[in-house]
Amino acid sequence: MSPPRYEFLDADMLSRLGSLPVESRTAMVGNVAGRHASPHRGSSVEFAEYRKYVPGDDIRRLDWKAYARSDRYYIKEFEADTNLRAYFVVDGSGSMLFAGKGEAKVAYARRIAASLSYLLVNQGDAAGVSICTEKLHLEVPPSRRPAHLQRIFDTLADLEPGGETGLVGALHQIAEKINQRAFVVILSDLFTDPAALSEALQHLRYRKHDISVFHLMDPQELHFDFERPHRFVDLEDGTALVAEPSLIAEEYQAALSEFMLSVRAKCHDATADYQLVSTDTPLEPLLREFLIHRIPKGK
């Protein structure tokens, strides 16, 4: 399958990454057979455990050797494999438009979501996308069909960030809406209340979803390397502040450090896979490391 031609897709990169699977860190519940572990028992070749026979069980799964040893009937249980359903949650707030010394955060998020969606569908799994702003939660439900990728890519291409973030509300909505375990990938600068974010992440964790967070930040947001007085504008609510960077740099870095530590801790508390990403980071090595890190040991 050849990827459609969109400016945020790199066909050569996708070809090189194609040998790496997109794995789930937890057991998934899908609707077809696949490569990912399921919490349910099935009939694959990997033995899981014995359990006592109860009327109605398939007698073909009786272990006669166990019966000969114990004079009791036991059923062989095997690990079932299923497919993976992924939801890419893209923050569509105004702050995602910021581009200082890196590309715009929304552009970087678009490339991650599109690339991983392609890799997932290419391996037979389902991908979907949710765009969240203060007033809009636009969702493209997950699908395994290759033709579905165009709908995902068109939705990402049409994304025009603006207003305040609706990330927390969207995560709660997704947690309630998804009845089966899924892979939820959050792409955001996380400019929201850490306590509220924590509640949303814990909601996803309670529903047993596998959570990955890409915390996207521009290099200038991280290093605050401005050299002359600037008019700083909040891209979400429009408020502005004129300041001499050298006079506020220390206070800014202290506040940023506190925010980053809090966000990282909230993600870890929810067993979310957290990555702080500067938007000047080359995408291919980032995705390669992400995919390798998710491959279970022993595979």
pLDDT tens for residues 48-72? 455 565 676 666 666 777 767 777 7
CA distance 144 to 151: 12
| Nearest C-alpha neighbor of 44 from the set 22, 85, 77 | 77
pTM assigned to the model: 0.80
Q: Which residues contact 11 (CB under 8 A, 6 or more apart)?
A: 2, 3
Strand partners, 232: 241
β-pairing, 85-91 with 183-188?
parallel
CA distance 75 to 64: 9
Three-class DSSP category at 241: strand
CA distance 141 to 87: 8
Map out the domains of the chain with their CATH numbers: 11-25+83-294 (3.40.50.410), 36-81 (no CATH)
pLDDT tens for residues 2-13? 555 688 999 999
Is the pLDDT reported for residue 94 higher than 50? yes
pLDDT tens for residues 255-284? 999 999 999 999 999 999 999 999 999 999
Is the pLDDT reported for residue 132 higher than 70? yes
**34 or 71: which carries more pLDDT confidence?**
71
- The DSSP-derived string for 60-98 is GGB-HHHHHHHSS-EEEEEEEEE--EEEEEEE-SGGGG-
The answer to whether 159 and 61 have CB atoms below 8 angstroms apart is: no
| Nearest C-alpha neighbor of 41 from the set 70, 96, 85, 82 | 82
β-pairing, 85-91 with 36-52?
unpaired
CA distance 288 to 192: 29
CA distance 120 to 244: 47
